[in-house]
Amino acid sequence: MRVLRLRGLRRSAASTRFPWRDVGYYGLLALPFVLIAVSLTLGLYGISIENVLRALLSPVFPQLADGVSSTELTLVLRIRLPRILSAALIGATLASTGVAFQGIFKNPLVDSNLLGVTSGAGFGAALALLLGGTALLVQGFAFGFGLLAVSLAYAGSRLYSTAPMIVLTLMGILIGSFFASLTSLMKYVADPLNTLPAITFWLLGGLTGVTWNSIPMLALFAVAGSIFFWLVRWRLNILSLGDAEATTLGMNPNRLKLVVIVCATLMTAAAVAVGGVIGWIGLVIPHAGRMLVGPDHKRLVPASLALGASFLLLIDNISRTLLPAEVPLGILTGLVGVPLLVVLLRRSRTGW
């Protein structure tokens, strides 16, 4: 009787705690939307939250624009909103692809840059800038060469029938190094007064030149890819156990891995094409997500999307407001991400 009573107390205590855990989980999912609203008020020209809301609703309800200056309307709708939305989308994209890659490779030290997509996109952007292309051409070249890099890595891995994932990883590293060398060559031959600074600044990552034209492609791949990862969440759980378990349960692990890699590559290429090379998000955020919600992809994928978006929004706010000059996001994510990952690894001693 005493044992049964103790078990009943434990169940009641667990049921009491469970709603609070759900509240924290849904609060985490709502965090990016709160940060988006707060971020719109921040900048060298501060805007009240009331005027921000009025400006956001003014395209639908024009009468709400009364009392909001034209400067505030321009800042909110044409400058800050596309930049902030792109920061949230890029952060969520890189975080979710990091979760997917760590799951299929069963390795906590990989992210979406493993197969050379970032190096390929960097070379494409550098080539477009060297040719004097427009911002749209730079994004197109970055996206196309990012896909080309992963395609070459996959084609190279097909030359060997044994250990396909290991060979694919090796080919990704080789292709990434090759495109990184080509990027260095572009920087070497570029005009040191005009083109070289533009290439260097783009490779450091940033959202200064983002406009509404950049949002549709980024949103399309980010939303579609995230929905796909959610739909195959239980398959990602099985892949995390190993290929043998997946085959036993009737799955084709190699085919699913290929589909996940293609989806993650498209998402990463779109993110890099808009924001440049922004590292560490796909490596750090999945670890934070596992600490908060566990390894189940049913919760890990949405949590990582929210954490990635929130993380890059905070980094972008620091870059825009707290520093005297705007620092490229790739620098700040490294400065913040490395200590954060060390802390996460220290606190999570039971493995990933």
pLDDT at 19: 59
Mean pLDDT lowest among 74-88, 106-120, 221-235: 106-120
pLDDT at 250: 81
The angle formed by the CA atoms of residues 123, 125 and 130, to the nearest 5 degrees, is 95
Which of 266, 258, 308, 302 shows the shortest CA–CA distance to 283? 308
pLDDT at 16: 43
Buried b (16+ CB within 10 A) or exposed e, 282-291: bbbbbbbbbe
pLDDT at 115: 87
Measured between alpha carbons, how far is 142 from 274 in angstroms, rounded to an integer?
A: 9
List domains and CATH numbers for the chain: 85-111+205-347 (1.10.3470.10)
Give the residue-averaged pLDDT of 170-193. Answer: 92
**163 Rama class: left (phi>0) / alpha (psi -120 to 50) / beta:** left
Give the residue-averaged pLDDT of 191-218. Answer: 90
186 vs 348 pLDDT, higher one: 186
In tens, the pLDDT along 142-157 reads 999 999 999 998 888 8
Give the residue-averaged pLDDT of 208-236. Answer: 92
CB of 143 within 8 A of CB of 271?
Answer: no
Average pLDDT taken over every residue of the chain: 86
Measured between alpha carbons, how far is 322 from 309 in angstroms, rounded to an integer?
A: 19
Helix axes 2-41, 81-105, angle to 10 degrees: 140
Which of 12, 92, 10 shows the shortest CA–CA distance to 310? 92
Give the residue-averaged pLDDT of 266-287. Answer: 92
For the chain, the distance separating the N- and C-terminal CA atoms, rounded to the nearest angstrom, is: 39
194 vs 123 pLDDT, higher one: 123
Q: What is the 3-state secondary structure (H, E, C) of 119-174?
A: HHHHHHHHHHHHCCCCHHHHHHHHHHHHHHHHHHHHHHHCCCCCCHHHHHHHHHHH
Type of residue found at 27:
G
Measured between alpha carbons, how far is 252 from 239 in angstroms, rounded to an integer?
A: 10
Measured between alpha carbons, how far is 164 from 170 in angstroms, rounded to an integer?
A: 10
**116 Rama class: left (phi>0) / alpha (psi -120 to 50) / beta:** left
pTM of the model: 0.90
Buried b (16+ CB within 10 A) or exposed e, 70-96: eebbebbbeebbbbbbbbbbbbbbbbb
pLDDT at 308 over 50: yes
pLDDT at 15 over 80: no
Give the residue-averaged pLDDT of 163-185. Answer: 88
Give the residue-averaged pLDDT of 201-210. Answer: 89
Mean pLDDT lowest among 21-30, 178-187, 189-198, 258-267: 21-30
Give the residue-averaged pLDDT of 54-65. Answer: 88
Give the residue-averaged pLDDT of 299-308. Answer: 95
pLDDT at 167: 84
Residue 116 neighbours by CB distance under 10 Å: 28
Give the residue-averaged pLDDT of 313-327. Answer: 87
pLDDT at 14 over 60: no
**111 Rama class: left (phi>0) / alpha (psi -120 to 50) / beta:** beta
pLDDT-based confidence at residue 18 (cuts at 50, 70, 90): very low
Mean pLDDT lowest among 16-30, 58-72, 226-240, 242-256: 16-30
Give the residue-averaged pLDDT of 178-205. Answer: 91
Mean pLDDT lowest among 64-68, 144-148, 181-185, 306-310: 64-68
Structure tokens at 170: 């090796």
Structure tokens at 108: 């906590």
Q: What is the DSSP secondary-structure string of 220-280?
A: HHHHHHHHHHHHTHHHHHHHHH-HHHHHHTT--HHHHHHHHHHHHHHHHHHHHHHH----S
pLDDT at 349: 58
Torsion of CA 290, 295, 301, 304, to 10 degrees: 10
